[in-house]
Structure 1
Amino acid sequence: MAEIEIPEALLVLERAAWAEQQQGRLTVPTADAVQTAVREHAAANKISRLAVEMELKRRVRQDES
């Protein structure tokens, strides 16, 4: 499977959501912004939303290591 390109703007949104989640204060607007961006990116590139979300989460969490 080809590597999924994730734009920096989407990484920024996911990093913010992950930081909020770790602090126990993830807000609906933050989560919604991420999900909207994921859906739009997936649709624009004709790839699975789930594949985009999984790759996005992998990259953000891997950056912590």
Structure 2
Amino acid sequence: MAHTFAELVEKQRAADEAYARVRQLQDAYGPPTQTKWSDQQTTTWETAWRAWRDLARDVQAAVTGYAKQEGTPRPEVEARVKEAVRRGGGGGNGT
């Protein structure tokens, strides 16, 4: 499936937000090796982790497809996407 650069940025942003949620839960619950998590905490963290993992996988596949489509090295596309997310942008050609 073809993606626009803006779509890649939005996908990366969503993955970053999901990762932030995982980190937030870990901080709130404490290290699982030092703190006994309840079943509910474990389920909540695992659900958040799976969401992040799936979004991150989707970003990677989309970046790979976009790089092939554009004839641009994948690491270059990935760097441009991450820079656009960092700057709060997302449109245009990523420059």
Fold in common (TM above 0.5): yes
CA RMSD of aligned residues (A): 1.8
Structure 2 counterpart of 1:31: 56
Aligned identity (percent) is 27
Amino acid at match of 2:87: Q
CA contact (8 A) 2:67 2:77 kept: yes
Q: Normalising by structure 1, what TM-score? A: 0.78
Give unpaired runs (5+ residues) of structure 1. 1-5
Give the structure, 1 or 2, with the largest relative contact order (CA under 8 Å, sep 6 or more). Answer: 2
Asked whether the equivalents of residues 13 and 85 of structure 2 are also in contact (C-alpha less than 8 Å), the reply is yes
Cα offset, 1:23, TM superposition: 2.2
Letter in 1 for 2:10: V
Question: How does the TM-score come out when normalised to structure 2?
Answer: 0.55
Kindly tell me the number of residue pairs found equivalent between the two proteins. Answer: 59
Match of 2:43 in 1: none
Q: 1:17 aligns with which of 8, 15, 18?
A: 15
